[in-house]
């Protein structure tokens, strides 16, 4: 019992001596300061990593938004151009009602009156331009000053219903007519396939998408 009491007294004395020792106090202060600085540095590194992660996530989000916007513009431009074609198709159906293919052969093609045929596979309709126009519609300003095809300059003289005729079938039919009426025409009618999208429409779609991408890229770069 006495020995335990003596040991406890000695331990207490040593602790008091260490606490009162200036060197020990300085080491403790230095250790505490080091822990505080280390904690601050760790917090700064974590905050820096968090900021870089946020910037990276923001870049990924911006890329996704721009990609989605370009896809939307691509689809929307296609839809707009197709809608425009359908509107023109409906308008021409009222102004120049289609005739049967047999009537076209008997009244126009067999008599050497056909100058150009523009076939639209998606509508299964052929727009026909004659040497002697049956419409009083004048050519537009550009067509009057440049040698452009009639189907760019004015609306067709007649329209032919070709229901069920694909591009290949129509091509075969035109080749047969070319051989059958080779004595009628000094120069056979020019046949053009107006498919969707045309080269001009593809160019418009590409220019729209590329222009939008360029504007979006400059906006992101300046942000």
pLDDT in tens, the chain (223 residues): 545 554 455 555 545 554 455 555 555 555 655 565 555 555 555 556 677 778 788 788 888 888 888 889 899 999 999 999 999 999 999 999 999 999 999 999 999 999 999 999 999 999 999 987 655 455 555 545 555 566 667 889 999 999 988 889 899 999 999 888 888 888 888 899 998 888 888 899 999 988 888 887 777 666 5
Q: Which residues share a beta bridge with 192?
A: 118
> How many Å apart are CA 204 and CA 212, to the nearest integer?
12
How far is residue 186's CA from residue 184's CA, in Å, rounded to a whole number? 7
Q: How far apart are CA 223 and CA 220, in angstroms?
A: 5
Element (H, E) at 17: helix 2-20
Residues 6+ apart with CB under 8 A from 98: 125, 159, 160, 161
Domain 97-198's class?
Answer: alpha beta
Answer yes or no: are the C-beta atoms of 108 and 114 closer than 8 Å: yes
């Amino acid at each position: 019992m006495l020995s335990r009491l003596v040991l406890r007294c000695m331990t207490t004395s040593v602790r008091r001596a260490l606490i009162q020792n200036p060197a020990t106090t300085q080491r403790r202060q230095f250790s505490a300061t080091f822990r505080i600085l280390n904690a601050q540095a760790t917090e700064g590194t974590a905050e820096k990593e968090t900021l870089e992660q946020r910037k990276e996530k923001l870049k990924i989000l911006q890329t996704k938004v721009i990609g989605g916007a370009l896809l939307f513009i691509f689809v929307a431009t296609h839809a707009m151009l197709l809608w425009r074609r359908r509107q023109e198709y409906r308008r021409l159906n009222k102004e120049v009602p289609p005739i049967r293919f047999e009537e076209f052969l008997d009244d126009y093609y067999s008599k050497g009156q056909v100058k150009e045929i523009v076939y639209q596979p998606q509508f299964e309709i052929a727009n026909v331009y004659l040497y002697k126009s049956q419409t009083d519609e004048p050519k537009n300003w550009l067509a009057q000053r440049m040698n452009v095809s009639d189907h760019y300059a004015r609306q067709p003289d007649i329209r032919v219903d070709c229901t069920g005729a694909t591009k290949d079938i129509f091509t075969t039919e035109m080749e047969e007519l070319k051989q059958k009426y080779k004595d009628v025409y000094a120069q056979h009618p020019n046949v053009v396939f107006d498919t969707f999208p045309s080269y001009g429409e593809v160019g418009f779609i590409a220019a729209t998408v590329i222009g939008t991408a360029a504007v979006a890229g400059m906006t992101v770069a300046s942000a």
